[in-house]
Structure 1
Amino acid sequence: MNLLSLLSGLTKRDPHAIIAIDADPVQPVHVSRSELWRRTLQLRADLATAGVGRGDVVAVCLPSWSDLLGWQLATASLGACAVGLDPECPTDDLVDTVADARPRVLALDVGVRPEVLDKLRAAITAHGGDADTAEPLAPAVAVVPGPHAEPPVDPSPWDLGGGAWQPSAATAGMPMPAAGGDEPAVAFAPGLAAYRESTLLAHATATAEALGLGDGDLVVCTRPAAQPLAWSFTLAAAAGGATYLFDPQLDETALPAQLARFSATHLVADEAAARHLAAAHTDPAAALPTLRWVGIPNAESAEAAQSLEAAGVAARGFYAPRGILAPFALWPDDRSTADRWLGGGTPVCPDVELRITEPDAGTVPDTAAPDPAAAKHGVLEIRGGCVPDNTTGWFRTGDLASLTSDGDIRYEGPAPQHR
């Protein structure tokens, strides 16, 4: 199975089920599985026409819209790698990532900040000498209007030197394309660590099973959808047959109302947002009767989870290393509150190896891996399933942690050099 066949199977099972919602104060857009399927196949054809093929990179710099899901799936189906970029990240970081990734196509929001375009053009000129002829660096720009705006009459103002175009309207009747191989399908900034389709599917399926995601459930994350944390839960929602809420305006103030409005069942929230949710209602369980699970990534304090559970909402800490598919580890229900209210847990993917190294250590040979039970704490390194491709096998998380005798992770915060 690959990402496209996952969507195909969901669509055949129930074409009218809602896979995504684009939030709006007045007119939210409910996207059915069949609509996303049509969009994805049409976009796949557009990308192929733009020259995207196996081994290419497509950079996707869009707000938290359901378009992100279609772009990721269409790109992967061509054997290309999608790099998600948060349009609200610092402009220089965004430009540097585009320069490093050298995408064949760059998807930009029709409302992208002018300074982003200016700095991208400057970077292209600096690397190629002329913005009009810098073939190695200048991507073709796809101008995406999003769910609530009209497409521009002329996309040329977004041209960075490689041309500009607009995605075609979705049409019915496009055949299921042949897809093969297991190429890197998604990479995350800033390190551009890439994941193969098989890894993405294994993690999404394992997460959906661990959380009990199914038809009728709705998942919300307070992070931008282009970031690894939110993207991981987006795909897990799809793998479980659930719905994901895309809301580029979501913040801790608007969160309680949005959860109630759309009958959310699962929430991924930073500690500050979780504390605000607990304080927003004297009885969150009554105000949010459908909410079954709140996950708090890398919680260093038990306060947020404890406050929510005291109000009747099940809350857990979990572990999500920076730039890694999340959750990497979840606490089972039978763990004590001393553990499950904090960051950590049992690895979601079973085929992983863990080891603790000294905070200031360099590369540690595989044969030097210490006995996990003997290590008090240090920097966590991981390898195996749910870990991005890398040359050494071991991925250094930059997080301080300890390992229990059962193989669980207890998160202790970022290592000093990563704070």
Structure 2
Amino acid sequence: MPANRFSLQSLIGSEAGPAFVFEGIAVSRAQFAQKVEQTAAWIAAQGIGKGDVVAVWLVNRVEWIALLFAAARCGAVVAAVNTRYRSAEVAHLLKLSGARLMIVETAFRSIDFAAILADVARDEVPALQKLAVVGADTIPAHWPCVRFDAFENSYPAAAPAESDVDLPVLLYTTSGTTKGPKLVAHSQRTLAAHAAVVAKALKLDPQRHSLLAMLPFCGTFGMTSLLGFIAAGATVHVLDAFEAAPAQKILSEQRITHSFGSDEMFRRILALTDAPRPFPHLEVCGFAAFQPGWRELAAEAEGRGLPLFGLYGSSEVQALFSIARPSDALADRIEGGGWPMSPEAKVRIRDTETGELAVQGISGEIEISAPSRFLGYYNNPDATRDAITADGFFRSGDIGRLRGDGAFVYETRAGDAMRLGGFLVAPGEIEDELKSCPGVADAQVVAVDLKGQARCVAFVIPADIPPQQEALTARLRERLAGYKIPARIYVVDAFPVTDSANGVKIQRARLRAMAMERIVAE
């Protein structure tokens, strides 16, 4: 099989329709291919060549995509910088990646990129030589600045680098137990092959299907869905950053068939309209559940014609690794996990207590072998070795179970799973029961060490009159095994949250700390 089939360039194609629509302006595939050539020439003119790392700190715009495809053409590597990052996180990424050049926005909404960079000391990131600014000639910074003017001025054509589709081309950041994020390295082969698999598995038709891209390109969820639709030749309508009102407008007016996002994104979109079925053309809305109440949201969305599909992915195996099928019952369709998109992918579950492979229905750590698997953690061979089994499976750090029909269910992060009474318990099971109790709007459950024994503690947000712990405990005892009953139930106004590239997530580590603080205070 020729290697060039797995190049990013091979995804562009020659379909007649627009490749992208940015703020109502269409960019054809021919125009995009030209922008890639212009960007490759600009990159070469900056002295960037094979193996050099370029950090891209931009919101969703055509320059972002052109830079990735152009870097692949030149043999360079793109390090994706989350637009939510602040100075310490930016410095960590630049130092770890060894980026020589950073392409940066001047400012966007409330984000002052220059002010953030001002807090990054030059000696913290010795490899960084200069900044390239989008939308201005310069910004106040410790480094020399040039303008990113690839689309405006002509540069000598870049000689194509000797293509090696198995070298790193894109670095995602991923959180973990280490002090700073690790960099997940993907090649053109892993990206392009998975994009083609996504297009085929979703049965995308360039004449009929279109995508609303409302997730940031700096994360695998946004990038993978984007590349899948490029591979299919379908049109991608792009939001520079998510806002519910413009998303709702595009979904309504552009006959969008697919979109991917967090539960909170779809909740906000639905809240803007009272129409009973506001988006009649939508076929698939793949969602990641980050917030309490996602099952209730899915039921409401289903009744209003917004079909939510559970899915699974990670930076290491890419987003859209798996997704539910339309034939699944609603209760199964909205669960995380689903059916692997690649026929070559394999999923197995390892019992976290015995270390043995688990049978159907038993929860354990999800392990994955797939063509979409990452090359490794960039400049971190020890972490790479720890993450891959001897037979090539990725240890996901997620807890799930096999369904028995070829699909699997994602339950929780391994760090969030609770070993109670000798059994592995997903917090969501107890949270759902709490949310069914009168007076409870939302609930979160974490495990703590209480007198040498693992017990769970619940935090609830009241719906109206604060519920009493005794009443909640009595109800739970009727519904759950004794080891699942929270040792404490605390009423709070809100849960601690943090922003990520893909959505707002509950800070469960902070909840555990809050639980211990309150228990000690007692």
TM-score range, shorter chain: 0.7 to 0.9
Q: 1:417 to 1:276 in 2, by over 3 A?
A: closer
The one of 311, 333, 341 equivalent to 2:304 is: 311
State yes or no: 1:199 paired with 2:190: yes
Which fold has the larger relative contact order, with Cα–Cα distance below 8 Å and residues 6 or more apart in sequence? 1
State yes or no: 1:378 paired with 2:385: no
Aligned residue for 1:54? 50
| Distance in 1, Cα, partners of 2:127 & 2:191 | 28
| Distance in 2, Cα, partners of 1:261 & 1:90 | 36
Q: 1:52 to 1:173 in 2, by over 3 A?
A: closer
Aligned residue for 1:184? 168
| Distance in 2, Cα, partners of 1:33 & 1:174 | 19
C-alpha displacement of 1:343:
1.0
C-alpha displacement of 1:114:
2.5
| Distance in 1, Cα, partners of 2:50 & 2:405 | 41
TM-score by length of 2: 0.67
Instruction: Give runs of aligned pairs for residues 258-277 of structure 1, distance below 5 A.
Output: 258-277=250-269
Q: 1:108 to 1:298 in 2, by over 3 A?
A: same
The one of 350, 375, 381 equivalent to 2:343 is: 350
Q: 1:334 to 1:263 in 2, by over 3 A?
A: closer
Kept after mapping to 2: 8 A contact 1:141/1:160: no
Aligned residue for 1:334? 327
Kept after mapping to 2: 8 A contact 1:42/1:169: yes
State yes or no: 1:224 paired with 2:222: no
User: Aligned with 2:318: secondary structure?
Assistant: coil
State yes or no: 1:243 paired with 2:241: no
Aligned residue for 2:10? 5
Paired amino acid for 1:347: P
User: Aligned with 1:328: secondary structure?
Assistant: strand
User: Aligned with 1:307: secondary structure?
Assistant: helix
Kept after mapping to 2: 8 A contact 1:319/1:327: yes
| Distance in 2, Cα, partners of 1:271 & 1:387 | 26
Write the deviation string for residues 301-326 of structure 1: whole angstroms up to 9, x where unpaired. 43233222222333211112356411
Q: Name which of structure 1's ranges 317-326 and 67-76 shifts more when overlaid on structure 2.
A: 317-326
TM-score by length of 1: 0.83
Ranges in structure 1 where 5+ consecutive residues have no aligned partner: 128-135, 146-151, 362-367
* Alignment RMSD: 2.8
Kept after mapping to 1: 8 A contact 2:41/2:156: no
State yes or no: 1:168 paired with 2:158: no
| Matched-pair identity in % | 24
Number of residue equivalences: 384
| Distance in 1, Cα, partners of 2:92 & 2:325 | 40
| Distance in 1, Cα, partners of 2:316 & 2:105 | 23
| Distance in 2, Cα, partners of 1:385 & 1:279 | 39
State yes or no: 1:404 paired with 2:394: no
Aligned residue for 2:479? none
Kept after mapping to 2: 8 A contact 1:298/1:318: no
| Distance in 2, Cα, partners of 1:321 & 1:358 | 21
| Distance in 2, Cα, partners of 1:354 & 1:18 | 37
Write the deviation string for residues 68-126 of structure 1: whole angstroms up to 9, x where unpaired. 11011001111222111122233321221112111122111132522222123x1x224
Ranges in structure 2 where 5+ consecutive residues have no aligned partner: 174-180, 377-383, 418-507, 509-522
Q: Name which of structure 1's ranges 179-188 and 301-310 shifts more when overlaid on structure 2.
A: 301-310
Q: Which has the larger radius of gyration?
A: 2
| Distance in 2, Cα, partners of 1:186 & 1:297 | 23
| Distance in 2, Cα, partners of 1:326 & 1:64 | 17
Structure with greater strand percent: 2
Paired amino acid for 1:331: A
Q: 1:163 to 1:174 in 2, by over 3 A?
A: closer
Paired amino acid for 2:280: P
Aligned residue for 1:125? 123
State yes or no: 1:212 paired with 2:203: yes
| Distance in 2, Cα, partners of 1:117 & 1:126 | 12
C-alpha displacement of 1:215:
2.0
Kept after mapping to 2: 8 A contact 1:59/1:82: yes
| Distance in 2, Cα, partners of 1:292 & 1:357 | 34
State yes or no: 1:103 paired with 2:93: no
| Distance in 2, Cα, partners of 1:220 & 1:181 | 32
Kept after mapping to 1: 8 A contact 2:52/2:76: yes
The one of 256, 262, 269 equivalent to 2:248 is: 256
